[in-house]
Structure 1
Amino acid sequence: MTRWNTLLFDLDGTLIDTNDLIISSYEHVLTYYAPDQYSRDDIISWIGVPLADNFSSISSNPSQVEQMIDTYQSHNLANHETLVREYDGVYDTIKTLHERGFSLGIVTTKRKEAAVKGAEMLGLLPFFSTFVTVDDVTNPKPHPEPLQIAMTQLNARPEETIMVGDSQFDILAGKNAGVRTAGVAWTIKGASFLKNYEPDWMLAKMSDLLDIVGETEE
Structure 2
Amino acid sequence: MTKIKALLFDFDGTLLNTNDLIIQTFMHVLEERFPGQYSPKDCLKFIGPSLKQTFSEITPGEEDAMIAKYRAWNEAHHDELITEYPDVVSTLEQLKEMGVKLAIVSTKRNDMIDRGLEVLGASHLFDIRIGACDVKNVKPDPEPVLLALQRLGIEKNEAIMIGDNSHDIEAGHNAGVKSAGVAWSIKGEAYLQQFKPDYMLHHMSDLLSIVKER
On whether the aligned pair clears a TM of 0.5, the verdict is: yes
- C-alpha contact (below 8 Å) 2:27/2:39 kept by paired residues: no
Instruction: Spell out the pairing of 1:29-108 with structure 2 (5 A cutoff).
Output: 29-61=29-61, 64-108=62-106
Does the aligned pair in 2 maintain the 1:20–1:83 contact within 8 Å?
yes
Contact 1:76/1:114 (8 A) holds in 2: no
Aligned to 1:148: 146
Following the alignment from structure 1 to structure 2, what is the Cα–Cα distance between the partners of residues 28 and 115?
22
Which one is further off, 154-163 or 30-39? 30-39
- CA offsets, 1:75-98, max 9 Å, x none? 111112110111001110011111
Look up the SS of the partner of 1:8 in the other structure.
strand
SS at match of 2:180: strand
What's the CA shift for 1:36? 1.7
Q: 1:66-215 to 2 correspondence within 5 Å?
A: 66-215=64-213
Q: How far apart, CA to CA, are the structure 2 residues paired with 1:180 and 1:134?
A: 22
**Equivalent position SS for 1:214:** helix
Moved more, 113-122 or 152-161: 113-122
Residue 4 of structure 2 corresponds to which residue in structure 1? 4
What letter corresponds to residue 2 of structure 1 in structure 2?
A: T
Code of the residue aligned with 1:102 in structure 2: it is: V
Structure 1, unpaired ranges of 5+: none
Is structure 2 residue 53 aligned with structure 1 residue 18?
Answer: no
What CA distance in whole angstroms lies between the structure 2 residues aligned with 1:201 and 1:60?
37
TM-score (norm 1): 0.95
Identity %: 46
Query: How far did 1:165 drift?
Result: 0.4
CA apart distance, 1:201: 0.8
Shift of 1:31: 2.0
How many residues get paired? 214
Q: How many Å apart are 1:158 and its aligned residue?
A: 0.5
Letter in 1 for 2:139: K
AA in 1 matched with 2:154:
A
1:81-132 deviations in Å (ceiling 9; x for gaps): 1101110011100111112111110000111222211111111111011110
Assess if the C-alpha contact under 8 Å between 1:13 and 1:188 holds in 2: yes
Equivalent pair of 1:5/1:102 in contact (CA under 8 Å): yes
Q: Which moved more, 1:35-44 or 1:193-202?
A: 35-44
Corresponding residue SS for 1:197: coil
C-alpha distance in 2, partners of 1:56/1:39? 19
1:22-81, Cα deviation, whole Å (9 max, x unpaired): 0011111112222222222221011110101111112222xx311110111111111121
Distance in 2 between residues matched to 1:86 and 1:40, nearest whole Å: 21
User: RMSD in angstroms over aligned alpha carbons?
Assistant: 1.0
Q: Measure, in 2, the Cα distance between the counterparts of 1:26 and 1:97.
A: 34
